[in-house]
Each structure stands twice: as C-alpha cells, then as structure tokens.
Structure 1
C-alpha cells in the first residue's frame, strides 16, 4: 500500500470513529435543546474514494448523507461551493433518502482543470433544529480540457518552434552587460556560469536554424568572452553565480563563494563547442578562438585534487578553503568535469584520478533491473534525469564506452526507467501517464527539489522528457505534444515551456530556469542533427582527454 493510500485509509478510519462518537454523544440536551447530528457518508458521482477527487466532470453530483433529516431551508447557506480562488459557485440541491441526504450539483458547468471545494458547514440544520457537529469538506479537481490549445503542426515544425521559443531565454533575456544567462527569470543581475554554458551552446544551433545570423552570434560571443576574461575566478575556475554587471562572485551559499569546478566544466563545455563552430580564418573569429583558449587553459583542474588526492573537489573558497569538502564522485551529472580535466592542455589530471575518484565510489555501479530495464550505473531507479543531460550536451554518448559502461545504453536505460516509473505511477499522482512524464530537478510548489523516482513530489518537469529526445524519441515526442497541445494554455510562454507543473496539486510554475531551458534546445538538436555533439567531439583536446581516460568512440 502506498503512503498516499495509507493516509487515506487512516482518514477514513478516523472519520468513522468521529461519526460513531457523534451518534453516541448528540451534544447538549434537555428541554428545548435540539439534538445535534453527524455526517454519515459521501459520494461524488455515485462513488466514494476519500475527500479529494481528480478528473471530475464539469457537472458533478456531490451527495452528503447525515444521521438526521435535513431542513431544506438551511441548505443554501449551510453548504458552500467555491473555487480555490474564492469564486462562489451557484448550485442546486435535491434531498433524498428521507431527506437525510443532500445532493449538490453546480448550476452551470465548472471550468476545466480547476480546483473546487464543497463544504457542509455548521450552518446546516436538521429538521429538528440540530446543528452539524463537524464540517465536512470535499475537494474536486475538474478534468483536463482535451481539445488542442494551438493549431496542430508537423512534428518537425513543432521541434523548431520549441527550440526557437526556448532560445529566447538566452537571447532576449540575456544579461545586457555580460550577455550571460540569468539564473532564472527573476534573478536580476545574478548570472549562472553553468547555465550560461548551456546557453552558449544554443548559439550555433540558432545560427544554423536561422533564428539569428552568424554575425549576430559572433557579436554575442564576443561580448560574453570579453566579460568572462575579466570576471572573478579562483585558480582559473568560475563561481556558480556572478554579478552580470560587474563580474564579481555572488555567493551560492554561505561557504560557496569561490570556485565551482562542476559549473566551470559546463561553461567550458559550451565555450569549446562554440570555439569549434566559429572556425573561419578572419580576424574576428580567430580572436574569439584565442580568447576562449585563454579562459580554458587558465582553469587549474589538477589543483582541485586538493594536495594531489586521486579525486577532484567541487568547491574552493577564498575565505573557507576546502571546508565544503565535496568530492566529485559518480554516478551523476559530472562526467564532463573529469573529461575536461583530463583534456586540459595546461592542467591535466591522470587516469588514476578518474578511476579512483569518479568511478571509485561504492555506489558507482548498479546492474539491477527496474521496470524491465537494466541500469548499468548509478543510484537505484537512476536518479533525476539531468544526470543523462548535462555532461552529454557536448559529449556524444553514441558508441561512447569505457570499462564501466556504454554511455548511450546507460542514458537510455535511465530515461526508460524514469518514463516507465511515471507510467506505472506507484504513488498514484494524478496526471502521470505515458504522455505526461519526466522527473528531474526543478521548482516545486513552495521550493525546489531534485525530482526522481526515489524522491517524487508529484511534479513533472518538461526539460526531463524533452532533453531525452536522443534516447527516447517516441516517448519524448508524445510528451512534447501533450505539454504543448493539451497543457499549452497553462504551460507555454514567452521563453518556451515553464519550468514545472503538477496536475495532482493543480500547480503550474511561472518560472524559467537557465539550467532547464538550455538542455531542451541543445538535446533536441542533438536528436535532430547531432550538431552540438559533432562540434564538441571535434575538439582535439577532448579527443585526447577521453582517450587518456580509456574511452572509445566512433567520434575519437
């Protein structure tokens, strides 16, 4: 039995005890004092399944049954029907079962995908004048409107539309001084190094897709690189957050106010990809490549071994040193950090650091089967889907193998487990299905969470399924069509799909996050043309580094 069902059972048992006690103790009595009455049962559209109902039709029948006949004249004020926003809903009532049951029906159709509550209050009286001992409230969420919210277009046109609209987050909403990506759409001057790396990778795509010209893309990259050359770094590594106007570190947390090697690797992955794209011999593109090389070669990857340990460390602070003490060990999103550290022409690490640090973790290997799919590496059920996205925006997993795994097999397995988990829906969250799936880190109601099958809050994040297009094109396309055509009136906005949503909680984020928008554009392009993979894997240093670590690939 799921935790959700256990809570439901407990509430039913409690309610039964409550109702029994109401019958046994009718309240104040004596000459002239009417007996109080209790609640007996509830049905919505003829069935009982607790006190919250999803997927309700637009004219539901809510039937309350009490322990005494009800005074019909008190129903209008004794029952409230309203939306979650407080809108009062007109209703009709019919009494049945010797007047002890009251059936409430809205006078007009309710709205689709909207939350309502129907409450029998203490203002409801029995025919004898008795008072209802405890209020009874039922929550209703109406069904999804199955009509298409936008005109149907071809699959290719839809993919292009999603890429173009999502790209606007990095183009139109980029910080005006630095050109870098804001952490989220409400971040002001705070820009993100890793999210900017993802955004940088969208520029060659936008040029090839004719969203912008090559000259425009070059000009934006010149602005970005000029800013990065002057920004605050620590042993060549960038902080997680920067002030987009000044280039000074913005602390991510109390002690995270210095270098972030993982975020730096996401940024460098983007810079190397763009360096490979702007390959013409003119002065402007030659200078851009030279500036990118200067940034790349300044990162002291080997220094982050902390006294030559055979593992890389995530953070270093000028105030707190290595106090965060976070070793970068797999399996997670950080493969590219080790790949670039091995690829560095100036501060390279040896294979022993990869073998002992990244892959030396006791939880690195898996080998178990989940939902009929064997997972080679990582935590049970795979973890959040960004593990299979961030490092593989540039590193092509197709045919990429080492002694630990085939990385396309790994990423496809991870995705299929996530998909099949949502399809099976063991937590019984309303809305999960084969077309509404995808768990990864995102905003959730009143917070942020690394959503996964083992940490599931009932929230679907569009980037999870959409960034998985290279691994599960059929399943991802089904999700894309559902998000756009069926939920587009609530989910689609000026920068593409909003960050996350929950049909179970009837919540839609109004936010956009750089680290979620970027992979959508890049991984859809990797599915369509492989352009980001071709560019990143064409880097001579990346080829050398991957070979050093023991990788083989058709691209090497």
Structure 2
C-alpha cells in the first residue's frame, strides 16, 4: 500500500534594522497547540463505524440502479463499476433502513432510493423469479458469475428477499409514497418460484441456467451461510417448498448435527468442510441479519448457541495464534471470506477460517459478530480505529482486509462485507432489523412450518 509522507520545511527569515545593525533572528514560530485526542466512547465509536460504513450503500451505490456495487476500489472507482450484486444489495436494503432510522439520510431520501432499486429489480433479468448473482446495473441483464452460472442464484436471491421483507415492514404503515414502495417489494419477493428450485427433489438447488439448466448441480445442504434460503422458501405464500426439503435436504436427514467440540465449546452443527473449528464467520452473519437467532431453535440446534460458539472458537483460535502471526490477540482477530494476500504479495480472495489461516484479519468478521461477542468485537474495532486507522480506514469504513504480520492492507471494499457491519451494529444497538423481519407474518409462518420455535417472538 502506497504511503504518503508529508515533509514540512520551516524557513527562518533574517532581516536588518534601518540602522545597519547585525541581522537579527525572528523569534521561532510557536507551534500550534494540539489538544489531546479525545477517546471515543463505545457508543461514539460504534456510530462512527456504522455511519462511515453506511456510505458504501449510499455514496458509492450504482448511480443508475441504486443497487450495491459488487466491489469498490477507492483508488480506481471505475473498476467494474457496472457490476451490481444481488445478495449485497439485500444487505444494502437493510442498511438503508438503518440509515433512515438513524437520520444518516431522511426518510424521503431513503424512500426515493428504495423506489429506484425496486424499479430496477422489476425489469432486471429473472429466472423463474430468482435474480442472478451479478447484474449489469445499467441494463438489468445478467452478468455470468462463472461457468454454468448465468441464470438464477437462489441463495443470493434469498439474501435480497430478506432485505425486501425488512423494507416492506419498515414502510408499510408510512406515508402514501412509503406504502407504495412497500407494495412494490411485496410483489417482487412473491414472484420467486422457490418450488422450481427443488428440481422435483427434496432439496433446494443453488443455481438454474436457461442454457445449462441444472448442470451446476449444487444442492444447498447445511451447515453454511444458507439457512435463510430455506426459511424464505418456506415463508413464500405463492411458491412454498414442502418442509421435507428442509429436513432431508438442508439437515441431511439429521446428519447436520455434530458432537464435536473445540476449546471445550460444542460446534453443535457440522460445518461443511470445516468440521474441526467451524467455517468462516460470515456463516454466522448472512442468514441472521434479519433472522433473529435469540431463543431460536428447532430439532437440530439452538441457533444463538450455534453462532456464539462459532464466533468464540474463531476468537480463541486467534488468541492462541498457533501460526504465530504478528498482532493476533484479544484485540486483533476475526477470520472470514474477504480479500486476501497472495504469496507474491498481490491481492487475491480467500475464505479465511482457523483451518485456512493466512495471517489476514477481515474487519467485518469481528465487527459483524458484535451481537455475539460485544466485548471482543469492540476491542477489535477500537484497536483498528485508534492504532491502525491510517492503514485500515477509508471512505466507506474499514477496508476489507489487513495484516500486521505482513504490514499489508487491501484498500478495497465488498458489499457482502460492509453490509453485515451496518446491519449487525444496528441489531446490537436497537434490534431494529431483527424486529422488522421477525414481525413479518410470512416469516413466522415459514419458521413454524419448518419446526422452529422462538421464545423471544412467542411461537
């Protein structure tokens, strides 16, 4: 990362008086008094981080569509400027609600932006109701995410739909303009044909392509970040799935349950490909931005315990620091998918987790976990802001990845990382997004159909 050094040179001017006496030296200029830096309170720190991160979805959104750009590089703003992201925009919808509620923007401004996004999504490419992972923000046409992946992406769509329901609940009793926007989102989410994506089997499939149909062949099985996909599919009032798809597909007929522990902490569920420590921390974020895990359980798990335990294991791993990476500890931790450092020092991308530790901390990992580990998450946030701000802080909050060990930063942003920070900070501070989403009657209906219970919400 290029660093700039400002060198201030002070010139001393010599002068003579009118009598021709020897030159005299002007008295040195007294340097300005710099008051001591006032340490932010926890509340002030959270607000600074939340508001600055919110800028990703407000100041740096795609101009034509209003959607969240997949990525934003402050030093190259035009890079992939037209690629907007479905899932990241779902997180962005919740972030906009948070920004409206806090007065970062007015309700009128927020409603106008939400209306623009709804209009764009209504005309964008859809595949049996589902949107693609990437969309061209100017044309609404699909941008292929990869081979066989040029059609519907059900997981990304479920993240988007969760945001839509949250917006609807926030606006539905507002002004005439707000009610109109709420109705638009209600129509949009009801157009998703979740049943189609079972391919007539007892499981949901991640992708369908108009060219390759089911060749991607990716059944959505737990445990990972995709719980919300089954909940949205069960909550649909137009194309719901049979609950058997959840139990046989997602829960693998009960094989999702794990008896393993790490640091004497139960994992509870079998994390796909990461059964010793658990997966990257975004697995405890994406599904739970609207879905409130407090006192939420089914026959397989208590989901508060699932998420708290995964986060604590990640934290304890970083504190133990078996690979001896510089800086790791109780105020510098958090492993999740983000930009990463390649062996040659260039910027790549990786799913960081204890079983794939590259010495890279992703600020979103700890910050978005604040609902589970508030003390530990605030410690990371304060450490970065007070001690590494020069390297880690930018126009839309903390950059995506940092390493003390390599003295390295990825000065870039990703929608799917910035969004959970805003949303989980809001949920920690007020519970707003959880309350809105869980108040939706369809969500309650879907959870009950799948066998969930919530002590907090009374079902």
Specify the TM-score bucket, using the shorter chain as the normaliser: 0.7 to 0.9
Shift of 1:254: 2.2
Contact 1:225 1:291 in 2 (8 A): yes
2:282 is equivalent to residue 386 of structure 1:
yes
Q: RCO (CA 8 Å, sep 6+): is it higher in 1 or 2? A: 2
Q: Secondary structure at the match of 1:223?
A: helix
2:418 and 2:297 map into 1 onto residues whose CA distance is 28
Structure 2, gaps ≥5 residues long: 6-35, 73-78, 342-346
Equivalent residue number for residue 362 of structure 2: 461
Shift of 1:315: 0.5
Shift of 1:367: 2.3
Shift of 1:279: 2.1
1:262 and 1:412 map into 2 onto residues whose CA distance is 23
Equivalent residue number for residue 69 of structure 2: 182
Contact 1:194 1:515 in 2 (8 A): yes
Equivalent residue number for residue 246 of structure 2: 354
1:376 and 1:535 map into 2 onto residues whose CA distance is 28
Shift of 1:284: 1.5
Rg larger in structure:
1
Equivalent residue number for residue 396 of structure 1: 292
Equivalent residue number for residue 432 of structure 1: 328
Contact 2:247 2:253 in 1 (8 A): no
Partner deviation per Cα, 1:387-437 (whole Å, 9 max, x = no partner) = 000000000000000000100011000000000000001111111111100
Equivalent residue number for residue 138 of structure 2: 245
Change (3 A) 1:150 1:166: farther
2:146 is equivalent to residue 259 of structure 1:
no
Structure 1, gaps ≥5 residues long: 1-83, 88-148
Partner deviation per Cα, 1:65-97 (whole Å, 9 max, x = no partner) = xxxxxxxxxxxxxxxxxxx99x9xxxxxxxxxx
Shift of 1:363: 5.9
State which of 197, 216, 232 in structure 2 corresponds to 1:340.
232
Equivalent residue number for residue 28 of structure 2: none
Instruction: Give the 5 Å matches for 1:384-533.
Output: 384-445=280-341, 446-533=347-434
1:364 and 1:500 map into 2 onto residues whose CA distance is 31
Contact 1:491 1:497 in 2 (8 A): yes
Contact 2:247 2:254 in 1 (8 A): no
Instruction: Give the 5 Å matches for 1:14-93.
Output: none
2:119 and 2:158 map into 1 onto residues whose CA distance is 19
Equivalent residue number for residue 42 of structure 2: 155
Change (3 A) 1:361 1:382: farther
Instruction: Give the 5 Å matches for 1:168-179.
Output: 168-179=55-66
Which TM-score applies when normalising by structure 2? 0.87
Contact 1:343 1:546 in 2 (8 A): yes
1:196 and 1:473 map into 2 onto residues whose CA distance is 26
Q: Secondary structure at the match of 2:446?
A: helix
Partner deviation per Cα, 1:84-140 (whole Å, 9 max, x = no partner) = 99x9xxxxxxxxxxxxxxxxxxxxxxxxxxxxxxxxxxxxxxxxxxxxxxxxxxxxx
Shift of 1:366: 1.8
Partner deviation per Cα, 1:259-300 (whole Å, 9 max, x = no partner) = 000000000000100110002254322221221121111100
2:160 is equivalent to residue 301 of structure 1:
no
Instruction: Give the 5 Å matches for 1:126-145.
Output: none
Q: Secondary structure at the match of 1:318?
A: coil
1:528 and 1:547 map into 2 onto residues whose CA distance is 27
Equivalent residue number for residue 547 of structure 1: 448
2:276 and 2:238 map into 1 onto residues whose CA distance is 37
Contact 1:165 1:496 in 2 (8 A): yes
Number of positions where the alignment pairs a residue of Structure 1 with one of Structure 2: 412
Q: Which runs of 4+ in 1 moved over 4 A?
A: none
